Amino acid sequence: MPKSPATTLPAAGRDVVITNPDKLYFRAAGYTKLQLAQYYAAVADGALRGIAGRPIVLKRYVNGADQEPFFQKRAPEQHPDWIDTVELKFPSGRTAREIVVRDAAQLLWIVNLGCIDLNPHPVRADDLDHPDELRIDLDPGPGIGWGDVVHVAGIVREVLDDRGLKGWPKTSGSRGMHVNIRIERRWSFDEVRRAALALARAVERRAPDRATSKWWKEERHGVFLDYNQNAKDRTVASAWSVRPTVDARVSMPLTWDEVPECDPAAFTLATAPARFAERGDAAEGIDDSEDTLDSLLALSNEQAAAGLGDAPWPPHYRKQAGEAPRVAPSRQKRAAAKPSAAAEPAPAAESPTGRRRSKQPLVVVSKAEHRDDALAGLERWKSRHPDAASQLHEDDVLIDAMRGRSTTWTRIRVNLRHVPDALRPPDEPPDPDYDPWRRVREGGDGGDVGEAAAAPRARKRAPKTRSSS
């Protein structure tokens, strides 16, 4: 199909080129690339409030919302001189110049690259070491409904009120909710993460049946408060972002009074501009708010004194002092169960570290470059083991988006906790059994996301900035 002629949209005193404007970005809903750009032009004041002056990771859906995106930290080499950048430094010594959006024209320029949602860092470009935002990410597990998310959000508000903090809620644009807190730029990333962990544990304590701070999916239930979204180099979709869902949902800022009765499906690319025009931005005052983390850090110290140490970090971060063993409890259990010539196996109630082990029996059933292929592998596993499959509960199927060099791949595990021993299938190789690191070992272009994603590619040209999307 031939590409449609480029068009322009006026923004911030410039005419921004939108290439291939008729390209379908949301096939089921029928929304085009031009409609996505027009949406962001209509809500630019709100969208900029979440991203202005911040380095931003480009998450590019050049083939539409239903296709795999790729992450681009490094600013395209070919960019206009009116596009701002800032250099980020990583512990390895590598650096990357990332895009910094400051006005509506720059916003539309990155949308033209295929960015559907906006993923800014929680720092400003003039101080990359001290976040000005603590981000609370409420992530519902499989089978957990919106009512539970709303209930846990209410508990979050109670904890914040008790600590003298103001939270700014918004829908995530998918199944969850975010609550952002503007903070003084006094604390390091590690301190902000520690404050977020303390808050997550406080919410879990008040609502243990609905909320969890447990990092490992096999231990979670209800709504997970993802404290690790505050680790350095993690990004979260910002307010007014369109998300890559079938209905093009929007991450909508709300007042706390709106949260109990809101319907996240009501906020889409088609409906959000009218709400913005009529009501403005519920987060309009967020930049006037600067809270202190002293109370949450004091809570963290209280929790540590009670025996709660650090919680697991994401796998590609270096091991932290005081961090628990960074291995899934089920794998820790299997390792402890293997006989050793040097020593007897550890007692059933403990792992070799003396920490309590999970009794969750997990099996990996598929590992695939694309989610649909992984799901097809799950269905084949169910067909091979119908008796075991019939015993599974909805939250026994764990679908993990694993990070590769610049894209994600999918791993599916099955928790056999509800399957009687006699019906549990034997271990077998995953189907399919995708190896994301094969090209790395063979000298190709692969690797982990994070710092590696920012490193230059020796054998590839810089990504195109216009015609490819």
Band (pLDDT 50/70/90 cuts) for residue 459 is: very low
Which of 121, 143, 158 lies at the terminal end of a domain, its last residue?
A: 121
Kindly report, residue by residue over 412-448, the tens digit of the pLDDT.
Answer: 998 888 888 878 888 889 999 998 877 655 554 433 3
Residues 49 and 164 grouped into a single domain: no
Mention every residue, 6+ apart, whose C-beta is less than 8 A from residue 78.
462, 464, 465
Residues 310 and 364 grouped into a single domain: no
Number of domains in the chain: 3
Residues 61 and 177 grouped into a single domain: no
* 13 part of a folded domain: yes
* 349 part of a folded domain: no
Q: For all residues of the chain together, what is the average pLDDT?
A: 85
- Cα dihedral 439, 441, 443, 446, rounded to 10, equals 40
For the cut 80, the answer to whether the pLDDT of residue 324 exceeds it is no
Residues 139 and 179 grouped into a single domain: yes
Which of 314, 342, 372 lies at the terminal end of a domain, its last residue?
A: 314
Omega into 253 within 30° of 0, i.e. cis?
Answer: no
Residues 20 and 164 grouped into a single domain: no
1, 4, 2: which is closest to 18 by C-alpha?
Answer: 4
Domain around 415? 357-436
Residues 166 and 111 grouped into a single domain: no
Kindly report, residue by residue over 355-393, the tens digit of the pLDDT.
Answer: 334 457 888 989 998 888 889 899 898 888 888 888 888
Residues 414 and 289 grouped into a single domain: no
Which is more confidently placed, 229 or 458? 229
β-sheet with 362-368: strand ranges across = 362-368, 408-415, 397-403
Q: Provide the pLDDT for residue 443.
A: 53
* 51 part of a folded domain: yes
Residues 162 and 223 grouped into a single domain: yes
Residue 356 CA from chain centroid, whole number: 28
CA–CA gap between residue 279 and residue 283 (Å, rounded): 11
DSSP 385-424: -HHHHTT--GGGEEEEEEE-SSSEEEEEEEE-TTS-GGGP
* 263 part of a folded domain: yes
* 114 part of a folded domain: yes
CATH number at residue 51: 3.90.920.10
* 336 part of a folded domain: no
Residues 53 and 174 grouped into a single domain: no
Which of 95, 121, 147 lies at the terminal end of a domain, its last residue?
A: 121
* 343 part of a folded domain: no
CA–CA gap between residue 22 and residue 7 (Å, rounded): 10
Residues 282 and 369 grouped into a single domain: no
Residues 295 and 184 grouped into a single domain: yes
* DSSP reduced 3-state for 442: coil
Task: State pTM to two decimals.
Answer: 0.74
Neighbour tally for 254: CB within 10 Å: 19
419, 468, 406, 461: which is closest to 57 by C-alpha?
Answer: 406
